[in-house]
Amino acid sequence: MPENEKELVLACKRNDPKAQTAFYNLYKGRLLGVCRRYARTVAEAEDIFQEAFIKVFKNLHNLEKIESVNHWVKTSVIRTAIDHYRHTIHERDQIGYETIMEQPELDSNIFSNLSRDQILEIINTLPNGYRMVINLFLIDGYNHAEIAEMMNISEGTSKSQLSRGRDLLKKELIKIGYAEKV
């Protein structure tokens, strides 16, 4: 690492605005392309990069080995890009309650006469574990590995609770006359 980059890092740690601008511009040229891989547009990539650098400047004082700053900044940018992707992908791909009827395990006619609030009310009658997995899997679009990690359960437990939750959901729908007996 050139001596001037070390000085730049030290000046940034002292919150020198000119050094921070130079540091930002130095890495923008290097890492904006990384952000672009995770973004749909250039503007979105720039937003990710901005967010990453807010974190970089906020945490720069924690950097102990100045010579590893390139790796540290790149890792921060990549993690921010992945976090942004995860956040926005769930917003983009979130499945609404009304699309639960598209799930092959449940009859497509079951939900045709129910409002979103009625579907939510029926799901909320399920036991907590089943209800959580049903919501996470069918509504929010998480996979079993993600659910297992979030809920601190095994993937097998997630799959089992989904299956049992679907069965209970169908029984609830039969009880109130919205599904035919199988």
* The pLDDT of residue 171 is above 70: yes
- Tell me which of 142 and 15 has the higher pLDDT: 15
Provide CATH code, domain 97-175.
1.10.10.10
Please spell the DSSP secondary structure of 21-32, one letter per residue.
HHHHHHHHHHHH
Average pLDDT over the chain reads 78
Q: How confident is the model at residue 97 (pLDDT cuts 50, 70, 90)?
A: very low
* The pLDDT of residue 30 is above 50: yes
Pick the CATH number of 3-93 from 3.30.465.10, 2.40.420.20, 1.10.1740.10, 1.10.260.40: 1.10.1740.10
Q: How far is CA 153 from CA 143, 147, 156, in A?
A: 13, 8, 8
Tens digits of residue pLDDT in 2-29: 578 889 999 999 999 999 999 999 999 8
Residue 95 — left, alpha, or beta (φ > 0 → left; ψ -120 to 50 → alpha)? beta
pTM equals 0.49
| Owner of token pair 């923008």 | 28
- Report the C-alpha dihedral over residues 85, 91, 94, 97, rounded to 10 degrees: 160
Q: How confident is the model at residue 121 (pLDDT cuts 50, 70, 90)?
A: confident
* The pLDDT of residue 51 is above 90: yes
Q: In the chain, what percentage of residues exceed pLDDT 90?
A: 28
Q: In the chain, what percentage of residues exceed pLDDT 70?
A: 74
Distance from C-alpha of 21 to C-alpha of 24, rounded to nearest angstrom: 5
* The pLDDT of residue 147 is above 80: yes
In the chain, list all ranges with CATH 1.10.10.10: 97-175
